Chain A
Amino acid sequence: MSTTLKPASPPEAPTLPTPEKPGGRNPMAAHPALWLFPVPALVLYVTFFVIPTIQGVIYSVTDWDGFSPTAQFVGLDNFVTIFTSDDLFRNALSNNIKFMLVVVVFQTIFSLVLAVFLSKNSKSSVALRSVFFFPTILSSVSVAFIWKFVYDPNFGLINSVLEAVGLGRFQSAFLGNDNQAIYWVALTQVWFHVGQMMIIFIAGLQQIPQELYESAETDGASRWQQFRHITLPMVAPATAIVMAYTTVQSFKAFDLILGLGGNPPKSSLDILSTRIYSGFANSQFGYAAAESLVFMALIAAITWIQRRAVKASNPDA
C-alpha cells in the first residue's frame, strides 16, 4: 500500500557548486529529452497491445477462421448470434454471473471480518495475516490441484472428514455435481484471494481515527453498533476497491476453471473466458473476437455500475 511504498530518504542533493546552467537551460523546466523516455514503452505497447485490440474489433465483424488469407465481412452477425441464439455463450455468462455473485459476496464479507479481527498490529495478528495472505502467491493451477483433492468425491479431504465424524450423509460429489460445480470453484477462488483483500481492508481500517471508537465506547455503544456505524461507513472506500477488484478477478478466473474443470471445461464450469478460448481453439477467430468485445464491455459496465452504487450509498466517500 502507499504507506509501505514510501520513498527511502532521498540521497543528499549534490553540493558541488556549478554556477553555469548547461545551455542556459532553466532547471525548473522539464528537459525536452524527457519526452523520449516513454518511447520504448509506447512502441511495445502500441505494437503488441493497442494494435491487436483494434484488430480484435475488425475481426469481430468477420467470419475469419484464423488461417485463411481472407475473411468474409459479416457485419454485426456475430453479435446477433451471441445475443440471440448462442446457448453456449448464455450458459457461460450465467455461470460467470453465479460465480461472480458468490465470490463477491463471500470474499468481501470474509476478508472484512478477518481484517477487523486482525487490524491491530500485535505479533499474533501480523503472523496470521501472512498465513492468510499466503494462498495469493500460488499459481491458479496449483490452487486448482490442491482443491481438486479437497473436493475429490472418493478420497477427498471433505468427504473423508465427513465420513470420519459420522456425517457421511452430507458427502457430496462437489465438482461432479453439475448444479453445484461452479459454486465450489467460487469458494476455491475465495480461499485463493481472501487474504489479499483482507490486506486492503486492514489498510483502510487502520486509517479510522481511534477516538471515534473511544467516544462511542463512552456513549455505551455495543461492538456491533460501533461496527455498523463507524467501521462500515469509514471503510467504504476500501469496500469499493475490494468489490471492484473481486468482480474483475472473478470474470478472469480462467486458470482456476481449467485447472479444476479440465481443458476445455465441461459446460457446467464453462465461463466467458474459457468460451473465448474454445472459440480460439476451434478456429472461430472472428466469432471469438466478438465474444471478447462483449466480455470487455460487460466488465466495464459492471465496474461502472458498482462504482455508482458505492458512491450513491456513501455520499461522503
Chain B
Amino acid sequence: MSYQLTRRAVLAVYAVLVIVPLVVVIFGSFKTSQDLFASPFAPPTTWRGGNYQKVVGESGLGVAFRNSVIVTGLSVPLTLFVASLASYGIARTTGWKSALLFGFIVLGMAVPAQANMIPQYVQFETFGLTNSLLGLVLINIVTTLPIAVFIMTGFLKTLPKELFEAAAVDGSGPWRTYRSVVLPVSVPSLSATAIFLFVIHWNDLLYPLLFINDAAKRTIPVALLSFQGEFLTDYPLLFTGVVVASAPIVIAYVFLQRYFVAGITAGAVKG
C-alpha cells in the first residue's frame, strides 16, 4: 500500500536526520580532529577520554557546570514556590481584582526577553545583581513567573471547589491548605512545570551572557558559546562540550520523558 510505504519512508528519513548528527557528536567527542574528518560516521577506533579532561579541566566547563547546577537548582524550586503561591491565591479568589491580577502577571508572557533585557540589565546593575549567580536566579524566577503562573493557575482552577471547602470546614487556614492540600494534589502539574523550567533555566544563554563578566561565574551555555572563539574548528572539543552541557537534561529526559512532553508542550500551548 503506497500510503504505508510513504509513511515508512518519511519516518525513516527523518529518524536518520535526527539520530545521525547526534551519533556523530557522541562518537566525535572521543576522536581527534583528523579521525573525525576522515570518517565522521564511524565509531572511534579507540575511546579516548582526552577531550573530556581538557574540556572539563582546562577550558573551565567544570566550573561553569557547577555554576549552572547552583543557578538551576535554586531557580526551579524558587520559581515553583513563588508561582504556586500566587496561583493558589489567584485560583481561590474571584471577581475583577483576581482576574486583573492574573492578567497583569500573565501579560509578561507577551514581552520577549530580548525586548526587555536592556532596562533589566540596568535595574540589576542598580541593585548590584549583575555578575552574580544570585542575580541569575532572580532573573530566572522573574522571567518564567508569568508562564508558570499561567500553567499552574489553569491547573488549580480544574480542582473541585469541595476540596478547598472541606479543608476550610476542617479549620485549615490558607497556608495550611496550601501545604497539605494544594501542594500534594498539584504534584503532576508541579512536576511538568519543573521540567519545563529546568530546560529553560539550564539552557538560558541570554541573561548570563548579558549579566556575567567574570569567567568564574559563567554558566554552561555561555562557557560553551565561548568555545567557538577559543577552539574555532576543533569540532571534537566542541562536541565534548555539547555532551557535557546536555548530559543532565538528557539523563532526566530518559527517566522522566512523560513530564518533559507534558511540561514543554504546556509551555507552548499558552493560547
Interface residues of A (CB under 8 A from B): 1-2, 4-8, 10-11, 13-14, 16, 18, 20-22, 25, 27-28, 30-31, 33-38, 40-42, 44-45, 47-53, 55-56, 59, 66, 110, 113-114, 117-118, 128-142, 145-150, 152, 155, 157, 160, 191, 195-197, 199-200, 203, 223, 241, 245, 248, 251-252, 254-255, 258-259, 262-263, 272-273, 276-277, 279-280, 285, 288-289, 292-293, 295-296, 299-300
The CB with the most chain A CB atoms within 10 A, among B94, B105, B239, is that of B105
Contact status of A5 and B155, CB under 8 A, knowing A34-B89, A37-B178, A148-B238 = yes
- Give min CB distance, B69 to chain A, whole Å: 15
> Would you call A28 and B165 a contact (CB within 8 A)?
yes
Give B129's nearest chain A residue, CB to CB.
A48
Tell me the nearest residue of chain A to B17, going by C-beta.
Answer: A191
Contact between A48 and B139, CB atoms less than 8 A apart:
yes
CA gap between A70 and B172 in the complex, in Å: 54
Would you call B94 and A10 a contact (CB within 8 A)?
A: no
For the A-B complex with A117-B11, A157-B40 known, give 20 more contacts whose Cβ atoms are closer than 8 Å.
Answer: A10-B160, A18-B171, A28-B168, A38-B101, A44-B145, A49-B145, A52-B122, A56-B116, A59-B118, A131-B15, A139-B221, A139-B246, A140-B205, A141-B205, A145-B228, A149-B21, A252-B113, A258-B205, A276-B117, A292-B116
**With A37-B178, A52-B120, A295-B115 in contact, do A8 and B188 touch (Cβ < 8 Å)?**
yes
Show the binding face of B for A, using Cβ within 8 Å.
3, 7, 10-11, 14-15, 17-22, 24-25, 28, 36-37, 40, 82-83, 85-86, 88-90, 92-94, 101, 105, 108, 110-124, 138-139, 141-143, 145-146, 149, 155, 158-160, 162-163, 165-175, 178, 181, 184-189, 192, 199, 202-203, 205-206, 209-210, 220-221, 224-225, 227-229, 233, 235, 238-239, 241-242, 245-246, 249-250, 253, 257-258, 260-262, 264-266, 268-269, 271
User: When A5-B189, A137-B249, A280-B118 are in contact, do A199 and B162 touch as well, CB less than 8 Å?
Assistant: no
CA distance A42 to B169 in the complex (A): 29
Q: Is the CB of A35 within 8 A of B37?
A: no
Shortest CB distance B196–A (Å): 11
Chain A residues near B188: list those with CB within 8 A: 4-8
Asked if A55 contacts B119 (CB within 8 A), the reply is yes
Q: Are B249 and A117 in contact (CB under 8 A)?
A: no
Partner of A11, one of B83, B86, B181: B181
Contacting residues, chain A, for B245 (C-beta < 8 A) = 139, 141-142
CB–CB A55/B122 < 8 A: yes
* Residue pair B142, A45 in contact (C-beta under 8 Å): yes
Given contacts A11-B181, A37-B178, contact A259 B118 (CB under 8 A): no
Q: How many Å lie between the Cα of A52 and that of B203 in the bound state?
A: 23
